[in-house]
Amino acid sequence: MSTYFSDIPAIAYEGPESTNPLSFKWYDKDRLVLGKRMEDHLRFAVCYWHSFCWNGFDPFGYDGTFERPWQRVADPMAAARMKADAAFDFFSRLGAPYYCFHDRDVAPEGSTPRESVNHLHEMVEVLQAKQAQTGMKLLWGTANLFSHRRFMSGASTNPDPEIFALAALQVKEAMDATLKLGGENYVLWGGREGYETLLNTRVGQELDQMGRFLNMVVDYKHKIGFKGTILIEPKPREPSKHQYDFDTATVYGFLQRHGLEKEIKVNIEANHATLSGHSFEHEIATAIDLGIFGSIDMNRGDMQCGWDTDQFPNNIPETALALYLILQGGGFTTGGLNFDAKVRRQSIDAEDMFHGHIGGMDVSARALLIAEQMITDGQLARHVEARYAGWNTPFGQDLMAGRLGLDQVAERALERNQDTRPVSGRQELLENLLNRYI
């Protein structure tokens, strides 16, 4: 199926003045940014599911609109191999260094659990060969524990322990596949790990089940010698009414309760962040400060819709602030920037898939250069440092070190016997400063 993209040339960097829509204007992978190649900073990944599995359907258009050739093949395994041909041809022409997949993206569900496992094993051999041929790497693998009807009441949180076991089988096999393919992370997305109504739900029991499941995952990671990072992807709702991994702070509290805060980090998606009532940068900053930042899914939502639209990013200021926070936090280690995004269902041509990814990569690259300016200039960081300077005084350090009790602090306030005037936060000045970089 490499012929599906045969009319598309390899995408090259041509610079901001280029009018060629099938070229990068800002993503120059070898350009040094803060002493590191742009490609190594951003670590772009293409998602298998939206790009090659989605057929353009929506709740009101069941038949889909895309009609990709591999989606019209009756034999599921033949279709999987053809889809892999197309996917790796796309990766190579685009020039992204990584890809990501769910187990059911690359290998079809069988009629029995054993047949499903056999399908995955066969396709892992195919993917391994294609990685060797193309130089593509796997940013992360995961298991689809939400599409099949057996998971309608959850996977690890299911009221039936036999379904819990089937979920465990899928995760075990997906982790084995990720290890064999040299994956740098493994993601857990609990799309059905939540509830629809409290009339039939034991929240405490389901949370305990989920905690037990995650401990089993971590134990298995160490058992097989997987050196990558285990990631949870927070999401507040949809498909479940309320999901237990609502946002980064909720995930951190859950990990602490189950002794996993040193073992598991988060994969933050922009669209999930906004659905939870936060901004993308809020979730990134929270994860970095809590020590659980791992990776990101770069997309955007439609603020006029109440669901996850998974659109390619196009907001440069917001992306620049997100990357500024990531760079300040030390940058990616095992994580990267995965486009959990899809072209719109009216964008039906092969070329449209390239336009979506080129745009997302250029927005991110331009935002990275802006973040570099922000860090090199240092004005924003100096404003923040000055705002909290009092905490670097002996009094501030004694407070945070626990050397003073409530009564001692209260006595100090009485001894000083004077009010302290607040200092301006200068929000408008800082917003203007951000816009000046852009």
Query: Is 30 among the annotated ligand-binding positions?
Result: no
In the annotation, is 102 catalytic? yes
Query: Is 160 among the annotated ligand-binding positions?
Result: no
Query: Is 40 among the annotated ligand-binding positions?
Result: no
In the annotation, is 89 catalytic? no
Query: Is 340 among the annotated ligand-binding positions?
Result: yes
Cα angle: 117, vertex 133, 352; to 5 degrees: 85
Query: Is 148 among the annotated ligand-binding positions?
Result: no
Question: Using an 8 Å Cβ cutoff, are 248 and 217 in contact?
Answer: no
- What dihedral angle (degrees, nearest 10) is formed by the CA atoms of 209, 213, 218, 222? 130
User: Distance between CA 92 and CA 12 in Å, rounded?
Assistant: 11
Task: Tell me the HSE value of 256 on the side-chain side, using a 13 A CA sphere.
Answer: 9
Question: Using an 8 Å Cβ cutoff, are 21 and 355 in contact?
Answer: yes
Catalytic-labelled residue, pool 103, 105, 176, 247 = 105
* 3 state SS of 438: coil
Pairing between β-strand 264-269 and β-strand 185-188 as defined by DSSP bridges? unpaired
DSSP string, 71-114: GG-SSHHHHHHHHHHHHHHHHHHHT-SEEEEEHHHHS---SSHH
User: Distance between CA 279 and CA 186 in Å, rounded?
Assistant: 25
Question: Using an 8 Å Cβ cutoff, are 133 and 396 in contact?
Answer: no
Give how far Cα 416 sits from Cα of 387, 391, 410, 419, Å. Answer: 21, 18, 10, 9
Query: Is 39 among the annotated ligand-binding positions?
Result: no
Catalytic-labelled residue, pool 102, 119, 258, 282 = 102
Annotated binding site: 233, 269, 272, 297, 308, 310, 340
Known catalytic residues are 102, 105
Annotated binding site for Mg(2+): 233, 269, 272, 297, 308, 310, 340
